[in-house]
C-alpha cells in the first residue's frame, strides 16, 4: 500500500499531467463524457482521491465535504425506528447526531464499552446500525473487529467503523467484515491541518448507492482544492505516520515513568488493557497518546501554558504535534479534568520530550 499511496489516482493518458489537477468545474459540455454536473458525477479531482482511497481500504470510495458529512451519510441510511449500538467512548460529533436523532424520535440507541466484546456480539442480533470506532477517541480503546463483525446480526443491518485514528495503513475494517469504513481525511490523509474532507469506503453496491444519494441530496460534496490537497497529502502519509509512531512510543514510555503523570493511554504500551489485541489487529499503534496530568484542572492548564513547541490545538494526524485538554471540549466534560490528548507529529522526538518534560516540571 505504500507504493499505491504514491502511484494511485494519477492520470494515465500520454500527455496528461502526472498529478490530477484541480478542476474547478460545476458543469460540463454534453457529448458522451464521464461528467455532466459536478454534484452528480463529481470532478476528475474528486475521482482521483476516491480511486486512491478505494484500493487502500478495499472497496468503493466516496469523498465528502468533511468527516462529519461522511458520518451523517451513514446515519441517513437508517429507517425511522432503527436501533443503534455505539461505544461509550466515541467522537462527540457522532454523539451529537445520535442524541439529536433520538430526541426527534428517529431511532433508539444503546452505548457499550468497546472492551465488552460479549455484549457487542449479543446486541448485534437486534441492532440496525453497529457503530464502531477503533481505536476510540480519546481513550484509545480497541474493538475486537473480527469477533464483532462475524457475529450473528439482524438482516439488513450495517456495521460501520470510524477508521480515522487507525488510518487505512494500520487497519482495513472491510477485511474484518465491516460494511463501511469512514475516515476523516482532514486528519492523517491530508496531514497538514489545511483541509476538511471525509471518505466512505464500502463493498456493498446497495449501501454505496445509498451513500451516494445522501451526498447528492444533501449537497455534502468536497471542494476541488480540498480533494487535491488530500490526494497530495496522502502521498506522504506512510512516511509521516511511521515517523510519528516511532516518536509516539518513545514519548509514551517516558510519560509513563514521569512523577507528574497519573496514567498514560497508548496501545503500544504493555500497560494498555488491550495491548495484545492491538498488537494482533493493528499494523501500527498510531500517533495519539492521552495522559492525565497529576492534580487535574489547574495543573493541567498550567502545563499547557508552559509548552513552547507543542501547539495547544484540537484535531490530530498532522505534521505538527498538537495537544489539548479534552474535558474543555463541548461534549467531553465527563473526561478527567487533567486528561491531555496529544497528537505526535514529525518533529525531533528529543525536542518534543524536552518541551513536555519542562512543562510537566
pLDDT reading at 44 higher than 90: yes
Q: Name the band, by pLDDT with cuts 50, 70 and 90, for residue 329.
A: confident
pLDDT score recorded for residue 1:
79
Question: Per the confidence metrics, is the pTM higher than 0.75?
Answer: yes
Which CATH code for domain 2-234? 3.40.640.10
Report pLDDT digits (tens) over 128-140: 999 999 999 999 9
Grid cell 470532478 is found at 43
pLDDT reading at 32 higher than 90: no
Report pLDDT digits (tens) over 138-150: 999 999 999 999 9
Q: Which residues pair with 181 in a beta bridge?
A: 161, 201
SS3 of residue 212 by DSSP: helix
Is residue 349 within 8 Å of 250, Cβ to Cβ? yes
pLDDT score recorded for residue 33:
84
Report pLDDT digits (tens) over 49-80: 999 999 999 999 999 999 999 999 999 999 99
pLDDT score recorded for residue 330:
85
Query: How many angstroms separate the CA atoms of 266 and 287, rounded?
Result: 9
- Reference 344, options 352, 356, 354; nearest CA is 352
Q: For residues 166-179, give the mean pLDDT.
A: 98
pLDDT reading at 179 higher than 90: yes
Cβ within 8 Å of residue 311, ≥6 positions away: 320, 321, 322, 323
Fold of the domain built from segment(s) 237-360: 3.90.1150
Strand 288-293 with 339-343, pairing: antiparallel
Q: Where are the domains of the chain?
A: 2-234, 237-360
Q: For residues 180-191, give the mean pLDDT.
A: 98
pLDDT reading at 31 higher than 90: no
Q: Name the band, by pLDDT with cuts 50, 70 and 90, for residue 154.
A: very high
pLDDT score recorded for residue 340:
97
User: What is the DSSP annotation of 82-150?
Assistant: EEEEEESS--HHHHHHHHHHHHTTSEEEEEE-TT-HHHHHHHTTT-SEEEEESS-TTT-----HHHHHT
pLDDT score recorded for residue 2:
86
328 secondary structure, DSSP code: G
pLDDT above 70 coverage of the chain, percent: 100
pLDDT score recorded for residue 275:
98
Query: How many angstroms separate the CA atoms of 138 and 114, rounded?
Result: 13
Check if 2-234 and 237-360 are the same fold: no
Is residue 47 within 8 Å of 28, Cβ to Cβ? no
pLDDT reading at 331 higher than 90: no
- Reference 9, options 67, 56, 58; nearest CA is 56
Phi first, then psi, for residue 40 (nearest 5°) are: -85, -60
Torsion of CA 46, 47, 52, 53, to 10 degrees: 70
CA angle 237/239/244 to nearest 5° reads 95
> What value does the CA radius of gyration of the chain take, rounded to a whole number of Å?
21
Amino acid at each position: 500500500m505504500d507504493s499505491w499511496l504514491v502511484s494511485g489516482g494519477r492520470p494515465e493518458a500520454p500527455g496528461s499531467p502526472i498529478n490530477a489537477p484541480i478542476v474547478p468545474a460545476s458543469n460540463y459540455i454534453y457529448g458522451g463524457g464521464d461528467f455532466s454536473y459536478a454534484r452528480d458525477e463529481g470532478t476528475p479531482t474528486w475521482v482521483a482521491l476516491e480511486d486512491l482511497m478505494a484500493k487502500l481500504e478495499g472497496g468503493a470510495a466516496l469523498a465528502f465535504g468533511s468527516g462529519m458529512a461522511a458520518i451523517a451519510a451513514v446515519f441517513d441510511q437508517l429507517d425511522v425506528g432503527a436501533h443503534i449500538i455505539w461505544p461509550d467512548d466515541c467522537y462527540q460529533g457522532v454523539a451529537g447526531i445520535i442524541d439529536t436523532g433520538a430526541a426527534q424520535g428517529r431511532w433508539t440507541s444503546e452505548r457499550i464499552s468497546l472492551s465488552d466484546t460479549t455484549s457487542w456480539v449479543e446486541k448485534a442480533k437486534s441492532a440496525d446500525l453497529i457503530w464502531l470506532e477503533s481505536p476510540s477517541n480519546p481513550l484509545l480503546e480497541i474493538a475486537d473487529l473480527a469477533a464483532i463483525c462475524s457475529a450473528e446480526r439482524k438482516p439488513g443491518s450495517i456495521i460501520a467503523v470510524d477508521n480515522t485514528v487507525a488510518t487505512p495503513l494500520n487497519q482495513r475494517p472491510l477485511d474484518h467484515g465491516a460494511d463501511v469504513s469512514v475516515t476523516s481525511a482532514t486528519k492523517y490523509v491530508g496531514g497538514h491541518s489545511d483541509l476538511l474532507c471525509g471518505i466512505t469506503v464500502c463493498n456493498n453496491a446497495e449501501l454505496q448507492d445509498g451513500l451516494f444519494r445522501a451526498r447528492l441530496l444533501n449537497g455534502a460534496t468536497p471542494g476541488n482544492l480540498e480533494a487535491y490537497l488530500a490526494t497530495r497529502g496522502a502521498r506522504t502519509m506512510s512516511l509521516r505516520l511511521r515517523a510519528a509512531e516511532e516518536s509516539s512510543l518513545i514519548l509514551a514510555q517516558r510519560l509513563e515513568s514521569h512523577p507528574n503523570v497519573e496514567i498514560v493511554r497508548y496501545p503500544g504500551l504493555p500497560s494498555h488493557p488491550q495491548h495484545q489485541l492491538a498488537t494482533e489487529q493493528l499494523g501500527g499503534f498510531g500517533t495519539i497518546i492521552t495522559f492525565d496530568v497529576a492534580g487535574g484542572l489547574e495543573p493541567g492548564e498550567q502545563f499547557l501554558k508552559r509548552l513552547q513547541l507543542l501547539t495547544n490545538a484540537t484535531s490530530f494526524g498532522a505534521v505538527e504535534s498538537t495537544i489539548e485538554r479534552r474535558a474543555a471540549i463541548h461534549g467531553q466534560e465527563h473526561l478527567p479534568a487533567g486528561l491531555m490528548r496529544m497528537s505526535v507529529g514529525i518533529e525531533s522526538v528529543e525536542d518534543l520530550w524536552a518541551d513536555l518534560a519542562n512543562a510537566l516540571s
